[in-house]
Structure 1
Amino acid sequence: MAKVLIVDDAKFMRMTLSNILKKANHEVVGEAENGQQAVEMYKSLKPDIVTLDITMPVMSGLEAVKAIKKEDPHAKIIMCSAMGQHKMVVEAIEAGATDFIVKPFDESRVIEAIQRVLL
């Protein structure tokens, strides 16, 4: 079981991901709606995994990956992107993200990514 911080500016997306993770017996320790909140919550919650949307207000997922990795080089981050954001996903992986999942979320793909990152 992993402790997960879900970060997405869309409440519906956070809810969807939260339901998938809880069903797979993971614990959702927090939810943030922008990169700034994600960085602050990462410091206080110390989750095992962060799912991070790429496009968000205040601070983007890309900026948040860099900030979290600076704080904790071993952070496990899974980027969430809509179709067609390939270039940004590549940038996020280069910045230190561990994996990525595409929206709309496919339940089995989400669980696979979590399991892969936990290895």
Structure 2
Amino acid sequence: MKKDILICDDAAFMRMMIKDIVKREGYTVAGEAENGRVAIEKYKSLHPSLVLLDSVMPVMDGLEAMQGILEIDPLANIVMCFGIGEKATALKAIRLGAKGSLMKPFQADRVIEAVKEILGDPA
């Protein structure tokens, strides 16, 4: 089973930070997206094993992008990333089909824990 990740966040430094965390642990980064619309397009072309999806992005937010991805693949593995004060959005995302959630600011061990819960070990 492939274990590649699509990282979606409007902040380039956040994408880089997450990319560094997952690569250090041995996972492959399938691609990156800076907004929800790009996330859906990249999902269509890359079919990653997991999507780490920020909730707040321009053009199309994370919830809309998640719904678009789930229309393409109802079994898609999506972990939504939230800021403090977005508990209601986090709960809605889980109800709509997200397999997990991560709270910002990220802690490397929590990111890896969320990824391993879905994909298992990278090897």
TM-score strictly above 0.5:
yes
* Structural mapping, 1:1-119, within 5 Å: 2-118=3-119
Percentage of identical aligned residues: 48
3-state SS of 1:67 partner: helix
**Distance across 2 between alignment mates of 1:32 and 1:115:** 21
Q: State the SS of the aligned residue for 1:12.
A: helix
Alpha-carbon distance, 1:2 to partner: 1.7
Mark the runs of 5 or more structure 1 residues left unpaired by the alignment: none
Q: What value does the CA root-mean-square deviation take over the aligned residues?
A: 1.0
- CA shift at 1:118, angstroms? 2.0
1: distance between equivalents of 2:40 and 2:90? 19
**Which amino acid letter does the alignment assign opposite residue 37 of structure 1?**
V
**Distance (whole Å) between structure 2 residues aligned to residue 55 and residue 115 of structure 1:** 24
Post-superposition offset of 1:37:
0.2
Following the alignment from structure 1 to structure 2, what is the Cα–Cα distance between the partners of residues 47 and 62?
A: 18
Q: TM-score, normalised by structure 2?
A: 0.94
1:4 aligned partner, one-letter code: I
Tell me how far apart the structure 2 counterparts of residues 117 and 100 of structure 1 sit (CA, whole Å). Answer: 11
**Structure 2 stretches of 5 or more lacking a match?**
none
Q: How many residues align?
A: 119
Query: SS state of the match for residue 44, structure 2?
Result: helix
Q: Deviations over 1:12-34 (max 9, x none)?
A: 11010000000000001100000
Report the Cα distance in structure 2 between the residues aligned to 1:31 and 1:118, rounded to whole angstroms. Answer: 18
Secondary structure of 2:53's counterpart equals strand
Runs of 4+ in 1 over 4 A off after TM superposition: none
